[in-house]
Amino acid sequence: MMSHPYPMYEMPEGVETRWASPENRTAAKGNAARTNGGRKGMPFISVRAKEQVILALEEGTSGVILRIWVTLNDRSPSMLRSLKLDFYWDGADKAAVSAPLGDFFGTGLGRTAAFQSSLFSSPEGRSFNCIVPMPFRTGMKVTLTNEGDTDLPMFFYDIDYTAGDRHPERLLYFHAHFRRERQTSLRQDYEIVPKLSGKGRFLGANVGVKPDTEKYCLSWWGEGECKIYLDGDNAFPSLCSTGTEDYIGTGWEQGQFSHLYQGCHVADKETMEFCFYRYHVPDPVYFYQDIRVTMQQIGYWDPQTKSVFRQAGIVVAKAGEEQREIDFATEEDIPDYGNFERQDDWSSCAYFYLDHPFSMLPELDAVEARVHGLGGPGSGL
């Protein structure tokens, strides 16, 4: 599923290579590099505020998008969240992929950083790469919409794909779903994937967390478990991690790292903002009826945090069956270690294959809700 169907040494019959780029927007044969006498005449396009452009379009043929590369001159958090990518398969009216550009490429919170994974990468923190295979049967369309109020002078891109591929009957379509909750609800798990009906494979997600440091100081927020509900699961899931940092393969909180299938490319201990990912490539997550993926918002205190909470007069909701508040300023017999419920700012972009070219998941939030409160270092040019 995660590689092109043809071995490197096999020549498939009737399959053509096509690149859509500013130098050849239609990916037509013999139509590239014509501007300015073929001397680097059209390396980028400009996208005005509120403008939508078609990046790639194929009609009446099958194919597979195999690689996407993007860079742009404005890589501010607001621009990366204002630009919306939409992918349509086989003439569907509803997009299978609808996500902010930065989040789609694994850059959470608009905070660019160098990283490499099996699906997405940014070699030096200045570009965006995707190598997820995206098959289609009868056509595809990829659009970019600048939903912000600022013009984008320079947008560079390549969309590399094949046309004429012969697909199996059990083909699945690639999807991406972005969500944000500026304040999660107490004791209600954040939904990375709301309940999704159909048959397919969950590929994983990248996640960004902006903690409420006024309410919880600079305390650790990541004790919550990832839970995956499969095929009729109701009260309890079939799959569960032991903690947020454990889900992405590390332990005892998390620092900055990037591996093929798991990583944390932003680990800002000054703000406690983190961006991390987990991709289920070697460990597939299949579903046959439905799926729902959630993450708990649970924090942790230790003796040092307990002292900070006591001085600051912090009151928290204890995690567990005993649902009560703990007042660190007044209670004397508080244990040195414990878990508590939190409400923070969470956002995510989830990826999955589905047996339908569109899903019934909610539409993408308006641009104002996506960009509100973004900022911080490491996100500009």
Using the Cα atoms of residue 61, residue 64, residue 104 and residue 40 in order, give the sign of their dihedral. negative
- The more confident residue out of 30 and 294 is 294
Same domain, 183 and 159: no
* In a domain? residue 83: yes
Q: Which helix (H) or strand (E) holds 247?
A: helix 244-247
pLDDT of residue 375: 72
Q: Are 315 and 216 in contact (CB under 8 A)?
A: no
How far is it, in rounded angstroms, from Cα 233 to Cα 207? 24
Confidence bin at 1 (pLDDT 50/70/90): very low
Same domain, 106 and 190: no
**7-15 long-range CB contacts below 8 Å, 24 or more apart?**
12/165, 12/166, 14/164, 15/162, 15/163, 15/164, 15/165
Same domain, 202 and 314: yes
> Residue 37: is it exposed, middle or buried by C-beta count within 10 angstroms (0-12/13-18/19+)?
exposed
Same domain, 89 and 229: no
Same domain, 298 and 309: yes
The amino acid occupying position 323 is Q
Question: What is the residue-wise DSSP string for 165-234?
Answer: ----TT--EEEEEEEEESSPPTT--EEEEEEEESSEEEEEEEEEEE--HHHHTT---B-PPEEEEETT--
The domain boundary residue, chosen from 127, 150, 170: 170
Instruction: Compute the C-alpha angle 227/231/234, nearest 5°.
Output: 60
Same domain, 116 and 202: no
Q: How far is CA 130 from the centre of its chain?
A: 12
* In a domain? residue 371: no
Same domain, 16 and 135: yes
State pTM to two decimals: 0.94
Confidence bin at 3 (pLDDT 50/70/90): low
pLDDT of residue 219: 96
- The more confident residue out of 277 and 37 is 277
Question: 138: which 2 tokens?
Answer: 């009868």
Question: Residue 101 above 60 pLDDT?
Answer: yes
* Percent of the chain scoring above 70 in pLDDT: 97
Question: Residue 276 above 80 pLDDT?
Answer: yes
pLDDT of residue 2: 52
φ/ψ of 293, rounded to 5, equals -125, 125
Domain span at residue 7? 1-170
Residue-wise pLDDT for 128-154, tens only, equals 999 999 999 999 999 999 999 999 999
Question: Residue 295 above 80 pLDDT?
Answer: yes
Per DSSP, the three-state class of 52 is: strand
Same domain, 22 and 116: yes
Residue-wise pLDDT for 297-347, tens only, equals 999 999 999 999 999 999 999 998 888 999 999 999 999 999 999 999 999
Same domain, 192 and 160: no
Same domain, 30 and 52: yes
Computed over every residue of the chain, the mean pLDDT equals: 94
* Beta strand extents in 83-199 (DSSP E only): 83-89, 97-100, 115-116, 120-122, 128-130, 134-136, 139-146, 152-163, 173-181, 190-197
How far is it, in rounded angstroms, from Cα 278 to Cα 264? 9
**At 29, which CATH number?**
2.60.120.1390
Residue-wise pLDDT for 171-211, tens only, equals 999 999 999 999 999 999 999 999 999 999 999 999 999 99
Same domain, 192 and 76: no
Question: Residue 378 above 80 pLDDT?
Answer: no
How far is it, in rounded angstroms, from Cα 286 to Cα 300? 32
Question: Residue 377 above 60 pLDDT?
Answer: no
Confidence bin at 32 (pLDDT 50/70/90): confident
How far is it, in rounded angstroms, from Cα 246 to Cα 139? 40
Residue-wise pLDDT for 115-132, tens only, equals 999 999 999 999 999 999
* Percent of the chain scoring above 90 in pLDDT: 91
pLDDT of residue 8: 86
Residue-wise pLDDT for 208-253, tens only, equals 999 999 999 999 999 999 999 999 999 999 999 999 999 999 999 9
Question: 150: which 2 tokens?
Answer: 């600022």
